[in-house]
Amino acid sequence: MALGRIVIFAAGATAGILAGYALKSEKVRPAAVCTVKAGLKAKDWTVKQYEGIKGDVKSLVEQAREKGNALVAKEVEETAEESA
């Protein structure tokens, strides 16, 4: 298991070093900038989608609680009528 971690660490370190040298190249730098720009755009889209879904879920939870409270109140009334 330790050997696997060492191999993964070595591969990551090698990739990092190669990326560092590649970014210094004037040919590779514009491609890297475009890649980062696309990544930021994707992040912004994901955050926007998350916020929209989060609002929808909150609305659903509130509706469910209101409906649940109404059902409980109705059951209490029916039980009180039956016992009276």
Residues 6+ apart with CB under 8 A from 23: 29, 32
Higher pLDDT among residues 75 and 33, named by residue = 33
Q: In whole angstroms, what separates CA 29 from the centre of its chain?
A: 29
Whole-model pTM? 0.48
- pLDDT number for residue 18: 77
Domain boundaries, the chain: 26-83
**What does the pLDDT read at residue 42?**
92
User: What's the pLDDT tens digit per position in 30-73?
Assistant: 887 888 899 889 999 999 998 889 888 898 888 888 888 777 77
Quote the crossing angle between the two packed helices 2-24 and 29-83, to the nearest 10°: 130
DSSP symbol at 1: -
d(CA 63, CA 55): 12
